[in-house]
């Protein structure tokens, strides 16, 4: 007699290999059900519930919470013909409810381990609450701080960006997607979205093949190599072909060159927007172009649902291509273990979310993300016994801004403000006075009087200024990079009243704070540090933590210098102060306000004993770079030792510097450590005129230092042979 077990369809049998389960399931699906798997909608409505029952929805975004996801999942699993579970997606970018620094802040740690930890905590919280899939990491290189989405990524450098991309994917996905603490990652926005002209979101991108391959693609490649299960195709037009209908990037590069096996989801209605781009006359053409190019799932556009059946019937799309997309999607669902564990336990969610361990990690990582931009006369740290402190500024007691953009389910009530943090730190005798001074935006200076009164009564004024929570992120581009509103006037007024000013910045992009950089003795870049903001910042101000973060992006003096980035070319006329006919400005220095990699410490680090050894072994040649870093000051502190190279003469022009390695180390006063990097020759390679990856014989300069401008040790290395990489 047949047992129940033997009747169970293969696709529901966890002991069968995934590919077999997929084939079995696919063979049972109607074309409409297959197309359903390729459709994703935002939120949940009665209409969507009906569609789920009919097998017309594969995934939902923006549905979360253990009870709610269980409720909706039940409709799919128990109410639809084949019971295929839904995949719930959400933008979990820098925390779920325990909010960490924004991704630009995470990158400022230059510490992939803690960045990975932040992602794994975010994943554990979100998965506990029924979410399976994060639309993260955002790995778009951003060389234009006007672009609001600078906040969501790792900054301007392809190497740092790649290290962070890998760390984040590994953190989200963990060792196995079936682990109930893991989320599937979705590196975005593929590709070159950050290259938007004028720094204006969604704008045209027109870049060379070289720039595409050398600058914008590497972090995506790193994310794919780290095993990212999905990828999001971007909104932008790339060299005339929109990224969500681009077979060159979606097929030739992603699938053929990199061997990506996951599925591609479009950005929000990016398929429908092909009509606006002017490459499709209607949704049918749009769907045909996107699917043929390689987009497997339609986010919120409803284009695939409306168009694909007809396209298959007319023979414009093969059922094979539909099957391919569905198989990729189902594979991720099987890998997630959704058929075995479609529901989550609300009690488990309560235990995991915002647990003590997560809050402690949020504090540690927030501290690591802080960058000390300036500290003249070692004004910082200040004593906790200081008689009086004035805490001033529109962000000083703001609970929203520290969460930053895309802060998922972060709750402002959980945020420790700077004022809270300072109060918790100073001695019981210290007088702490607060005045808002002004709003983040707007022209009213009414609050200045009170701010000045407070400042005059105190020994030190801590002024917390920057951008509001919604001033960076998607569709949050700015044509000016100054402090918004009258905030700079507030800082000036307090400074001119004779107060000793410490400026704390909270912002999602580099700001052109030239006046402050010239006048204010101590400036702390805190970015948007997350829910532990106030404690982290106060720890730095009062010396319980010695800051060691470094800028992942260049700060311009003024918006007119943009784009400005450290890994630029030398040009035929490199800038010279004494020669007018060189590449510079008449009205402002050509140099940045604060360079890439910059960040100070309360202590001093000395670099010495650079050794460069080459180990010649054919294509596998490696280069070992070794040097010593010593803490020559009196505070324990972190240094991020940075390794840059320059290919002195090559067949195509090369950047003046390229980051190739970094290490964040902690040193006790007087302690010395040896730092070692191993470079492969492939890491020295570049794309020649024929777009072949080569290393050419000749001299490479090796530069080691504390920032891209603060180079402490230099040496040379000679490559003897020409090597072409496949």
> What's the min distance (Å) between Cβ of 362 and ligand NOJ?
22
Site string for ligand NOJ, 429-468 (x = CB under 6 A): ----------------------------------------
Confirm or reject binding of residue 135 to ligand NOJ (CB under 6 A). yes
| Distances in whole angstroms, Cα of residue 548 to Cα of each of 201, 524, 562, 635, 636 | 32, 11, 26, 12, 11
- Annotated catalytic residue, options 267, 398, 539, 638: 267
What does the DSSP assignment read for 658-697? Answer: EEEEEEEEEE-TT-EEEEEEEEEHHHH-EE-TTS-EEE-S
Residues touching ligand NOJ, count (CB under 6 A): 7
Confirm or reject binding of residue 188 to ligand NOJ (CB under 6 A). yes
Instruction: Return the number of the residue (268 or 677) whose C-beta is nearest ligand NOJ.
Output: 268
Confirm or reject binding of residue 91 to ligand NOJ (CB under 6 A). yes
Instruction: Return the number of the residue (61 or 336) whose C-beta is nearest ligand NOJ.
Output: 61
> What's the min distance (Å) between Cβ of 625 and ligand NOJ?
37
> What's the min distance (Å) between Cβ of 62 and ligand NOJ?
7
The tokens of 715 are what? 């040496």
468 to 487, contacts with ligand NOJ by CB under 6 A? 474
How many Å apart are CA 461 and CA 393, to the nearest integer?
A: 10
| Residue 267 known to be catalytic | yes
Per CB under 6 A, the list member of 268, 545, 602, 662 interacting with ligand NOJ is 268
Instruction: Return the number of the residue (186 or 506) whose C-beta is nearest ligand NOJ.
Output: 186
294 within 8 A of 250, measured Cβ to Cβ: yes
Per DSSP, the chain holds a count of helices (H) and strands (E) of 23, 25
- The candidate with the shortest Cα–Cα distance to 368, out of 537, 509, 505, is 537
539 within 8 A of 425, measured Cβ to Cβ: yes
> What's the min distance (Å) between Cβ of 304 and ligand NOJ?
17
Distance of CA 567 to the CA centre of its chain: 19
> What's the min distance (Å) between Cβ of 195 and ligand NOJ?
15
Confirm or reject binding of residue 267 to ligand NOJ (CB under 6 A). yes
> What's the min distance (Å) between Cβ of 615 and ligand NOJ?
43
Confirm or reject binding of residue 41 to ligand NOJ (CB under 6 A). no
What does the DSSP assignment read for 294-331? Answer: T--BEES--HHHHHHHHHHHTTSS-HHHHHHHHHHHHH
Instruction: Return the number of the residue (149 or 657) whose C-beta is nearest ligand NOJ.
Output: 149
> What's the min distance (Å) between Cβ of 139 and ligand NOJ?
11
Instruction: Return the number of the residue (267 or 296) whose C-beta is nearest ligand NOJ.
Output: 267
With H, G, I as helix, E, B as strand and everything else as coil, classify residue 40: strand
Confirm or reject binding of residue 143 to ligand NOJ (CB under 6 A). no
> What's the min distance (Å) between Cβ of 41 and ligand NOJ?
12
How many Å apart are CA 112 and CA 475, to the nearest integer?
A: 28
C-beta nearest to ligand NOJ: residue? 135
For the purposes of burial, counting CB atoms within 10 Å of the CB of 701, is it exposed (0-12), middle (13-18) or buried (19 or more)?
A: middle
How many Å apart are CA 303 and CA 290, to the nearest integer?
A: 10
Instruction: Return the number of the residue (48 or 135) whose C-beta is nearest ligand NOJ.
Output: 135
Buried-exposed string 192-215: b where 16+ CB fall within 10 A, e elsewhere: bbbbbeebebbbbbeeeeebbbbb
Confirm or reject binding of residue 132 to ligand NOJ (CB under 6 A). no
> What's the min distance (Å) between Cβ of 484 and ligand NOJ?
23
Region for 392 from its dihedrals, namely left if φ exceeds 0, alpha if ψ lies in -120 to 50, beta otherwise: beta
- The candidate with the shortest Cα–Cα distance to 725, out of 680, 695, 702, 696, is 695
> What's the min distance (Å) between Cβ of 232 and ligand NOJ?
6
| Distances in whole angstroms, Cα of residue 493 to Cα of each of 436, 450, 451, 516 | 14, 12, 9, 12
Confirm or reject binding of residue 96 to ligand NOJ (CB under 6 A). no
Q: Enter the DSSP assignment of 251.
A: I
Confirm or reject binding of residue 94 to ligand NOJ (CB under 6 A). no
593 within 8 A of 634, measured Cβ to Cβ: no
237 within 8 A of 267, measured Cβ to Cβ: no
> What's the min distance (Å) between Cβ of 188 and ligand NOJ?
6
**Measured distance between the N- and C-terminal CA atoms of the chain, rounded to whole angstroms:** 58
Instruction: Return the number of the residue (91 or 525) whose C-beta is nearest ligand NOJ.
Output: 91
For the purposes of burial, counting CB atoms within 10 Å of the CB of 139, is it exposed (0-12), middle (13-18) or buried (19 or more)?
A: buried
What does the DSSP assignment read for 469-520? Answer: GGGSSTT---S--SPSTTHHHHHHHHHHTT-EEEEEEE-SS----HHHHHH-
Q: Give the binding site for ligand NOJ (CB under 6 A).
A: 61, 91, 135, 188, 267-268, 474
Would you name the residues annotated as active-site residues? Answer: 267
């Amino acid at each position: 007699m047949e047992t129940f077990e033997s009747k169970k369809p293969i696709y529901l049998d966890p002991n069968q290999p995934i590919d077999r389960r997929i084939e079995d399931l696919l063979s049972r699906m109607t074309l409409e059900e297959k197309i359903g798997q390729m459709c994703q909608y935002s939120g949940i409505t009665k209409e969507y519930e009906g569609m789920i029952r009919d097998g017309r929805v594969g995934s939902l975004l923006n549905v979360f919470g253990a009870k709610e996801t269980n409720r909706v999942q039940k409709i799919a699993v128990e109410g639809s013909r084949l019971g295929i579970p839904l995949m719930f997606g959400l933008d979990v970018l820098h925390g779920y409810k325990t909010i960490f620094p924004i991704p630009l802040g995470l990158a400022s740690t230059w510490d992939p381990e803690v960045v990975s930890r932040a992602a794994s905590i975010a994943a554990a919280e979100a998965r506990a609450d029924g979410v399976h899939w994060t639309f993260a990491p955002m790995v778009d290189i951003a060389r234009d701080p006007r672009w609001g989405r600078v906040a969501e990524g790792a900054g301007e450098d392809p190497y740092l960006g790649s290290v962070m991309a890998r760390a984040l994917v590994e953190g989200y996905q963990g060792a196995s997607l079936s682990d109930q603490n893991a989320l599937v990652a979705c590196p975005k926005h593929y590709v070159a979205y950050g290259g938007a002209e004028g720094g204006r979101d969604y704008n045209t991108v027109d870049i060379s093949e070289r720039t595409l391959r050398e600058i914008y693609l590497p972090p995506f490649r790193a994310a794919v190599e780290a095993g990212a299960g999905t990828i999001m195709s971007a909104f932008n037009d790339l060299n005339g072909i929109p990224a969500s209908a681009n077979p060159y990037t979606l097929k030739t590069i992603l699938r053929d060159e990199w061997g990506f096996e996951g599925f591609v989801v479009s950005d929000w209605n990016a398929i429908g927007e092909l009509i606006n781009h002017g490459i499709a006359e209607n949704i049918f053409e749009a769907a045909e172009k996107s699917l043929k190019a390689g987009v497997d799932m339609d986010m919120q556009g409803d284009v695939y649902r409306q168009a694909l059946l007809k396209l298959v019937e007319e023979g414009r799309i093969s059922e094979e291509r539909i099957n391919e997309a569905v198989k990729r999607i189902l594979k991720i669902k099987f890998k997630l273990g959704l058929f075995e564990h479609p529901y989550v336990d609300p009690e488990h969610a309560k235990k995991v979310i915002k647990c003590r361990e997560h809050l402690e990690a949020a504090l540690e990582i927030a501290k690591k993300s802080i960058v000390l931009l300036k500290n003249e006369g070692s004004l910082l740290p200040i004593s906790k016994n200081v008689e009086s402190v004035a805490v001033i500024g529109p962000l000083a007691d703001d609970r929203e801004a520290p969460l930053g953009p895309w802060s998922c389910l972060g709750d402002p009530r959980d945020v420790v403000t700077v004022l809270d943090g300072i109060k918790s730190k100073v001695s019981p005798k210290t007088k702490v006075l607060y005045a808002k001074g002004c709003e983040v935006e707007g022209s009213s200076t009414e609050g200045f009087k009170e701010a000045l009164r407070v400042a005059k009564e105190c020994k030190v004024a801590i002024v917390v200024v920057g951008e509001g929570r919604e001033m960076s992120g998607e569709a949050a581009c700015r044509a000016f990079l100054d402090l918004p509103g009258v905030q700079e006037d507030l800082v000036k007024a307090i400074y001119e009243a004779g107060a000793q000013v410490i400026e704390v910045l909270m912002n999602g992009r580099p700001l052109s704070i030239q006046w402050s950089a010239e006048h204010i003795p101590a400036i702390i870049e805190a970015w948007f540090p997350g829910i532990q903001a106030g404690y982290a910042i106060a720890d730095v101000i009062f010396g319980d933590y010695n800051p060691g973060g470094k800028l992942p992006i260049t700060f311009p003096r003024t918006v007119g210098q943009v784009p400005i980035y450290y890994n630029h070319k030398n040009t035929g006329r490199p800038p010279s102060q004494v020669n007018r006919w060189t590449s510079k400005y008449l009205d402002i220095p050509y140099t940045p306000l604060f360079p890439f990699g910059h960040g100070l410490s309360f202590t001093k680090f000395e670099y010495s004993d650079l050794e460069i050894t080459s180990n010649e072994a054919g294509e596998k040649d490696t280069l070992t770079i070794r040097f010593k870093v010593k803490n020559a000051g009196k505070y324990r502190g972190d240094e991020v030792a940075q390794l840059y190279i320059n290919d002195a003469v090559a067949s195509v022009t090369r950047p003046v510097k390229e980051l190739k390695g970094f290490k964040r180390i902690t040193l006790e006063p007087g302690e010395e450590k040896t730092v070692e990097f191993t470079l492969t020759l492939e890491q020295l390679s570049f794309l020649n005129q024929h777009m072949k990856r080569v290393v050419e014989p000749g001299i490479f300069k090796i530069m080691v230092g504390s920032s891209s401008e603060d180079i402490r040790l230099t040496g040379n290395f000679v490559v003897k042979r020409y090597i072409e990489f496949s």
